[in-house]
């Protein structure tokens, strides 16, 4: 990838991960307020928001090894986000259709991060 398209790619992924986190925050605010959802929402926000934060940290990595390490953490956070989204569906079946696009986005982000990791080795 040349430098211009690489910067564009990073910028697009910066925007995409930020949008992912925003959608998670909006979903969390829409969920009913009960004991189960309170704990699920906390976990979801932590993992979902950290996807973009960790991606930004990876882009400031000090070495290629550090970059790959941080992207692996990033991928783990995206997988954890899937887990919490699935539990939220179980606890709130009426939100399934609203959550499915977030699950799909988490799958796509995991694939993207996996691809970047493989190409960076």
User: Looking at residue 28, which CATH number applies to its domain?
Assistant: 1.20.1440.60
- Alpha carbons within 13 angstroms on the beta-carbon side of residue 32 total 10
Asked if 82 and 99 count as a contact pair (C-beta separation under 8 A), the reply is: no
Asked if 114 and 68 count as a contact pair (C-beta separation under 8 A), the reply is: no
Q: What is the pLDDT along the chain (121 residues), one digit of tens a residue?
A: 444 445 555 679 999 999 999 999 999 999 999 999 999 999 999 999 999 999 999 999 999 999 999 999 999 999 999 999 999 999 999 999 999 999 999 999 999 999 999 999 7
Provide the domain limits for residue 18: 3-120
Number of independent structural domains in the chain: 1
pLDDT at 9: 58
Distance CA 54, CA 37 (A): 25
pTM of the model: 0.88
* H-state helical runs in 60-95: 64-91
pLDDT at 4: 44
């Amino acid at each position: 990838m040349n430098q211009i398209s690489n910067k564009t790619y990073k910028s697009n992924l910066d925007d995409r991960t930020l949008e992912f986190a925003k959608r998670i925050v909006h979903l969390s605010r829409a969920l009913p307020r009960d004991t189960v959802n309170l704990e699920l929402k906390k976990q979801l926000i932590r993992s979902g928001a950290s996807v973009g934060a960790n991606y930004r940290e990876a882009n400031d990595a000090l070495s290629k090894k550090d970059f790959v390490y941080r992207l692996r953490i990033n991928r783990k956070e995206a997988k954890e986000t899937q887990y919490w989204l699935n539990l939220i569906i179980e606890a709130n079946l009426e939100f399934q259709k609203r959550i499915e696009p977030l699950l799909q986005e988490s799958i796509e982000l995991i694939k993207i991060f996996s691809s970047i990791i493989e190409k960076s080795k």
